[in-house]
Chain A
Amino acid sequence: MTRMSGAKALIESLRREHVDVIFGIPGGAIIPIHDVLYDAEDIRHILMRHEQCAAHAADGYARASGKVGVCMATSGPGATNLVTGIANAYMDSTPIVAFTGQVPRPMIGKDAFQEVDIVGITTPITKYSFQVSKASEIPKIVKAAFYIASSGRPGPVLVDIPKDIQIETDDVEFDHDINIRGYKPNYDPHPLQVKRAADLLADAERPVIISGGGVIASGASSELVALAELLQAPVAITLMGKGCMPEDHPLFLGLLGMHGTIASNLIVSEADVLLAVGTRFSDRTTGKTEKFCPDAKIIHIDIDTAEIGKNIEPHVPIVADAKRALKAIRKHLLRKLKKRERTAWMKKIRELKQQHEEMSEKEGLSPPRLMKELRKLLPADTIITTEVGQNQMWAALYLKMYKPRTFISSGGLGTMGFGFPASLGAKVACPDVPVVDIAGDGSFLMTEQDLATSVTEKIPVIVIIMDNRFLGMVAQWQRLFYDRRYSSIDLGKTPDFVKLAEAFGAQGIYVGSLSEFRNAVKEALRSDVTTVIDVPISSEENVFPMVPPGEEITKIIKER
């Protein structure tokens, strides 16, 4: 038992969780914590320029490192600015812990200056939201927050700390066992379900695997590849699953769903047994659910029981950690699997994949070609983040990834402005690898102020803006489904991104050709300051393939 202030107890608790970086912005209701941080040389506080970016940076940090990301903001607007970032982390199951200052206890409920009910606001978008009621609770709550965020299906946790608690001195105990009666994640697969899954897979003519973000979260990449190879089952990925398998693997099909590759959408639809692992069958993945794999027996592995049967009813549900479940299924199959010849099917897969390759063989500054060129220039361990919209889908479709945790994108929430602050977080987590944000001009303008953070805090990243002066994905929908009625998507000629970058002390490069693009990327990789590469592309570009919203995934538009 030690006597100390709530703020000191918090920082000491963070040390015990091995936190060495916090993304945040101070303010009136959290000054006592920043006052303690002033002396905490082992914890780096990165001053962001917007709280949304603090949350996204923590998210990017968590996804790149596999550790819990931490962000911090003051009460009221500081806290509400975190909300988009917290919702984003919740949708994509990222472990972050957000700390917010709150008005002093006697002021709560009085509509005090900068008071907002952040616990009420974030309850539906966090795994749990705590409000601390006395300083002595802080160590236990922090320990619980990190445990909740990182265990089971990961996700964000919020801890709201009234200012007077940060100041008050109390007897504080740090060693606590965390036992939450209503929270017992199940990691081990049920043996009977494993057997049922293995039996189905062993007898399958056309087994296909869909791999989602859960495979990356549980570190199950090698188990996934091993099982796919044993079964000779092709693998489709969701956006969150990108990176779970080297994309030059013969069994790799590519992205599935609305912007799925031809191979993925067709081969998944042909499956007689579908093994879906670590995916929640989002509408962007399944298209029209009633027409999704109508003939397949579906095995669904997820650690979150509530995902089983939410969107798609499986024949064999397995509530477990993806890694353990895949391992158990493989072990079971090793005993009984007969070698199968699927020559004709594999030939078909190769042909469908070849069609996709041809789509990126265009001349000039076409986005698929840019992605292909970029890949040649970047080391294999480069971390890619994306904004949201066309840029994101071009990256997902045409930029090949080889390792887990190297592709970081806002999947569920689709948050424009995510990629750039996430790239800063990823770079802090992995300072020795290049980090590249694939951006659109519309998205980048939503969080571009954090160029200031990247310059002052010396976090050099590369931003590649595929600049069409349009809100490109909306424009694409208007082109395809609204008779070209371009409503509110024209962004005009401003800003000059080179000057914008330079105004922040970053490097800006405008490129007008593929060779200039290559040189700019090489220059950016050498640079020790953030580089913004402005690549003008046609505003009439579409991302293909595409499945119209609400349609079945075999209704693919390949070009127009």
Chain B
Amino acid sequence: METKEKYIISAIVEHKPGVLYQVSNMFRRRGFNIETITVGESEQIGLARMTMTIKGDERIVEQVVKQLNKLLDVVKVSILDPEFTVSRELALIKINTPNPAVRSDVINYTEIFKGRIVDVAHDSLIVEMTGSSEKITAFIELMKTFGVKELARTGITALPRGMKSTKME
């Protein structure tokens, strides 16, 4: 049995309506599970970058890449090697701060995790946290003792390090 590993897939796609639908529909139809997906502009005009994380074995990931490549609006697909990849996620976390003691604890933890307080209300704070998914998960776990009121995570976005490129030739 091959174990399920987490893979990061980076796809350069045509930046036009319907492409996200094509991609997500392909995943649904073929029974592949997307853990996270982010979409945004790339460095090239008219092209967007989709970053997806999926769990599976090598065979499944190979199929995912082939099925993505088969879509006409998908221009290039790369599997990113975690060792040579910078990946980041952003999360906004609204935390209960019913009293000054809790509030100062949350602020301290946020500093330790190199996060930022981006909103303050009389009984809650919103923390902006960027970093690896693991770091964000660890921070959220910690905050659960205070009470996480609302949470929004972006899923990761990623680029290969150094000279390696996922760019269209």
Contact = CB atoms under 8 A, between A and B. Distances in A.
Interface of A: 119-120, 123-124, 127-128, 148, 180-183, 304-306, 308-310, 313
Contact of A182 (B62, B66, B73): B73
A127 B21 CA distance: 14
Nearest to A153: B70
Contact of A181 (B22, B25, B62, B75): B75
A123 to B, nearest CB: 6
A308 B66 contact: yes
Contacts of B29: 124
Contacts of A183: 72
Nearest to B71: A182
A120 B59 CA distance: 29
A120 B70 contact: no
B16 to A, nearest CB: 10
27 contacts: A119-B18, A120-B21, A123-B18, A123-B22, A123-B25, A124-B25, A124-B29, A127-B72, A180-B72, A181-B14, A181-B168, A182-B13, A182-B14, A182-B69, A182-B72, A182-B73, A182-B74, A182-B76, A305-B66, A305-B69, A306-B63, A309-B59, A309-B62, A309-B63, A309-B66, A310-B66, A313-B59
A305 B66 CA distance: 7
Interface of B: 13-14, 18, 21-22, 25-26, 29, 59, 62-63, 66-67, 69-76, 168
Q: Which of A181, A304, A308 has the most CB of B within 10 A?
A: A181
A124 B27 CA distance: 11
B76 to A, nearest CB: 8
A128 B62 CA distance: 22
Contacts of B74: 182
Contacts of B62: 309
B72 A306 contact: no
Contacts of A120: 21
A346 to B, nearest CB: 38
Contact of B70 (A148, A180, A305): A305
A288 B20 CA distance: 35
Given A119-B18, A123-B22, A182 B63 contact: no
The 9 closest A-B pairs by CB, nearest first: A306-B66, A182-B75, A181-B75, A183-B72, A306-B70, A128-B72, A182-B72, A182-B74, A305-B66
Given A148-B72, A182-B75, A305-B69, 16 more contacts: A119-B18, A123-B18, A123-B21, A124-B25, A124-B26, A127-B72, A181-B75, A182-B14, A182-B74, A306-B63, A306-B66, A306-B67, A306-B69, A309-B59, A309-B66, A310-B66
Contacts of B13: 182
Contacts of B73: 182
B168 to A, nearest CB: 7
Nearest to A308: B66
Contacts of A148: 72
Nearest to B63: A310
B15 to A, nearest CB: 11
A458 to B, nearest CB: 39
B99 to A, nearest CB: 49
Contacts of A310: 63, 66
A120 B71 CA distance: 15
Contacts of B75: 181-182
A148 B168 CA distance: 21
A421 to B, nearest CB: 27
B70 A304 contact: yes
A310 B29 CA distance: 14
Contacts of B69: 182, 305-306
Contacts of A182: 13-14, 69, 71-76
A153 to B, nearest CB: 9
Contacts of A304: 70
A186 to B, nearest CB: 11
A180 B75 CA distance: 9
A305 B70 CA distance: 8
Nearest to B29: A124
Nearest to A310: B63
A390 B63 CA distance: 34
Nearest to B14: A182
A127 B26 CA distance: 12
A148 B71 CA distance: 12
Contacts of A181: 14, 75, 168
Nearest to B11: A182
A499 B87 CA distance: 72
Contacts of A128: 72
Nearest to A181: B75
Nearest to A309: B62
Contacts of B71: 182
A113 to B, nearest CB: 24
Nearest to A130: B18
A112 B14 CA distance: 29
A308 B71 CA distance: 16
Contacts of B21: 120, 123
Contacts of B22: 123
A306 B72 CA distance: 13
